[in-house]
Structure 1
């Protein structure tokens, strides 16, 4: 992990493209921002940090007496001996359709002006041969493509302005033009903005986002080769890491995903989100060399409000609220957040897949005005910047948590800078005594037991300086310690229930919160085994034909070991397997079958059944058939999200498809992506979008949707797929 300050001289000519442009770079420090930071009490400690320069209107390209233009910044970078300059490209037509504070100067239809008056002049300056030795990193249009994913399709966060931009295609056309035009310059590196975990962290958002990013990156002559990577958390406050809880934690058997703060998200911090999104984007077709940037300018969340350990185990909400370092009222709050602090200093290659931590939003520059301020920059008054506003659907109808007396977006906000400095984490001005406790151990389980002993194992904790060991408690009694993630408690009584917890500790003597308690009953005297294996999980159809279904599942666990599995079609035992796979044969074409699997051990104990899986066999092969599988990705009772995969199981390509089904309850689709749908009563018909109808032999396409349910279960319906 290297700081962004390695001194090198800029090359005389453009160097070969790098996988990571920040490697070995001396990054430009904007003297305009630096002077404002240094003028604040204590600000000189961070005034030498590199920040991005925002080209947020056409006039910013040429600059003014108050602020340098693009060419002046590049010239100053050369004078500094820097070889990397960071620019934000931010002036799309109808810019930031969901937030008034950051509205721009160009109307929704002015794509021509965007190209000729904004992108083309920027490209002309960047391509000047005198700057060939500068690596120029561009962040492309913050919030634009994420708005098309979540705020333009009839969802709770939708706006008419975002729907307009989705319909006219100017966001995609503008992003594609910027990528293609700027990406043609040899020393330019383009990073597309990808929002943050609190925006796209649900499967129902991340998948469509990756598809949308790929669509924009291949529009108007652009290709994936014009994209060096993506940036998350631009100008936002989401924590880099949450040290005191993980998305996999549970409290009294309830997952933390069910807490009000997490709200069923799959991520709780930006690092895990960025790394997962990178994998998703590579799978979508982006180059495997892409890297991620994370804006850490305002996500430190230090100060006296920062927790020192995990929250209480009284409920998932108490646990999460007591654990989280992100102290916002709601993860959807984005404007001048009270209590925020400077985050990690700009750093090169700090983690796998991450090109750099950067300060994309210069600390001290306002997100928006807390009241109406007339201006000629097209920036409106957004109530999310008003500390008295009681919120809307996008922030859970909670208070905004915004600072009072804030100026227009981009203007210097001294009170905010002072707060960021005071609440910096890591703190500004050197190291401090380690007071950060390790995270609580998770996954505590009994790996073996007898009539007089219990063997335990758990998942390792994390700590800012490293875990040195674990203390194991039986009830409230410390029964031993371990330097590893396992321990055996001996001298116990047969057929007796014991409750165990584990705590982690570090070299400074900090101790974590206790793990979730585990109750274990010792075996009866002798060697009789009465403990059944756990139920198999992850049952899925790995392949199918018109007369067979191949199944696979995740192995079960047992105190003495699993010997095999029984497979049921409905209530009928159709076979057994010593492995975690089985093929059921002799079936009828185009017929739905329901499967479950049970595990068994040497003593004859049998597990509970796995969750049932419904599989419909393929139709009679005619060279152009298709099948569709339906998966509920999240379910909260009154609503759910689902994903459907369409597979061409024929021997020739198909040019379109139609999927139909009939619900058994009161399910009603509210929004659908990657396809078109009609619903009449309980009957649903979905046809392909223009871009995913053609599927080669053996290939697949997918669509997803959100739905409500006012009655009945969210059981998986039987699907019929027709090749068109």
Structure 2
């Protein structure tokens, strides 16, 4: 037990050091009712660091950093990774995703209108907040899935700072009891990211049959995004148990449903008029009256589009490791639509994607790179570059340590020197690895510069005066251009 406690304390100390070294700018969490991540930070004070870390993981250090891609429920974190935001900030591990009926402490809550209050450490420009609750039939013993949730409400915002809208009134259902999870999602306006907060609640309701209809959606608007896409938006409906989803009608026919307050119709044609209306549907299946209709005529497709898209916005780092860099940026705008994004590293194009994120897996550890992104529209017009982002990859924890002149090495020790790996053949100190006196070269297909004082085994390849030579047998001090021990094999 003493050894276990020492190990746990050591792990906690290492984690503390890691967070102090790598912690990025943080953002926000739901303070009331207490979210799972906020409870973690509170219990760090009551349980102590080691026990809290064992229960909650790394979120105890940064409850405001549960960040992932936005787009929930269609996109966003993967199933089973919703509580941690898919670990997207690089600071949060997956302990927060562990799920059972008894693992997490719960907040007692009754149905009806409840206030949900956020605490922001970096109040980003905000597009909206949206809230979800687990369905009546959800299984608390299984990892959280997007199919476990249904929409409660969406709180739209005007793109200003999140701190302008701290508290939201959320209508919590009265048609279920016991353990449920409420998910709050905060969508940032100028990045591809959102923040995810799960709240474990114990609902205490007297369940009644719901026959009340939601109110009709209001302020319906239709906006042309491209020649072939129209975005419809509206203000939320009200309902005694909360709105589950909205149905979209085009020219009187239902074309789809959504849990958000916007819907993009991608099946329109240029130079045509369309009418849209919306109705709300609550958790009991009650449908609201139809909203007022709104009409829009799409633009006529031009024969040739010569206008480039707007530059991608706010290119930023999502995660970095020794061998990968994960990037994200805000979408560009263009009347004809964005076809793809081109990713540049150190001024050279390395890839392209249709997404607003990209993971570069062709990097080396402990190296600094400069990234930019450009957008390309459907006519091939290329935007100006995004902002420049410099990223330094982490050191490879499995890489061999750099050789040190004053260190003592024994047979079998491995080091890195000038980018190559070497293994000590016997006890050695101060002997430069590339001179191969007591060292064996491990890196394959490496050509070393010939050195007069170096010892070379048979088969070693060296460069001398712009030419390549292979040693026929062990040799030291014999000039490759003048000795028969060396075989000329070609120019460099």
Normalised-by-shorter TM-score class: 0.3 to 0.5
What TM-score comes out, normalization by structure 2 length?
A: 0.37
What TM-score comes out, normalization by structure 1 length?
A: 0.27
Q: Higher helix share goes to which structure?
A: 1
* Structure number with larger C-alpha Rg: 2
